[in-house]
Structure 1
Amino acid sequence: MMIRIRVGFCVKNLAKGTEQVRQKLLKDPDMDVAEFGCTSYCGICSKYHVAIVNGQPITADTPEQLFDNINDYIDNELIDQL
């Protein structure tokens, strides 16, 4: 059984450079990528690049680091939930 990985982004955060992460994730057929007007994580969203992966906020200082952190979270946390 394959787990569906949902990744959400705040549109304001995408405008800060996180859009490049969204574009990479859109190419992965196992990812369900969405964007929202707000993800309700404004405190971290204003300071970091943020993605919400299956309800869990993932943060990073750069888009490249965010992409890596998302993949690390999926590989190390979500896989355990299968």
Structure 2
Amino acid sequence: MIKPMIEFCASNMHHGTDELMQELERDDSVEVMEYGCLGNCGECYLKPYALVDGTIVAADSVPQLAARIREAIASQQADRDALDKLLDDL
């Protein structure tokens, strides 16, 4: 199984996402990357966010972001599983 990639913007750390990033780095089920800029400056300025396999996940607080990241991972995995099943049925 491919590990989900969670990407954080260094410029977004003022929201407290640095602690969430450190927590996720200890989780062997995900890959975590930090970049100087992810090119989503409007989102970055307004609230905590990360990219989960390239999709923006944002929230009003870091705990809420953590929950939304887990939801995004589960949803994306369910989509991959459904596609795999569809392809197997062909």
Residues 52-82 of structure 1 deviation map (CA, whole Å, 9 limit, x = unaligned): 1110010001000000000011112333214
The separation in 1 between residues aligned to 2:77 and 2:56, in whole angstroms, is 13
Give the alignment's Cα RMSD to 1 decimal: 1.2
Please tell me whether the aligned partners of residues 15 and 62 of structure 2 are also in contact (alpha carbons under 8 angstroms): no
Q: Percent identity?
A: 33
- Give 1:73's aligned amino acid: A
TM-score using structure 1 length: 0.90
Structure 1: gaps of 5 or more residues: none
Provide the rounded CA distance (Å) in 2 between the counterparts of 1:43 and 1:6: 22
C-alpha deviation, 1:20, in angstroms: 1.5
The separation in 1 between residues aligned to 2:72 and 2:7, in whole angstroms, is 14
Unaligned runs of 5+ residues in structure 2 are 82-90
Count of aligned pairs: 81
Structure 1 runs (4+) deviating above 3 angstroms are none
- Name the SS of the counterpart of 1:46 in structure 2: helix
Give the TM-score normalised by structure 2: 0.83
Bigger Cα Rg: 2
Letter in 1 for 2:66: F
More helix by share: 2
Which letter does structure 1 place at the counterpart of 2:73?
I
Mapped to 2, the partners of 1:38 and 1:24 lie a distance apart of 20
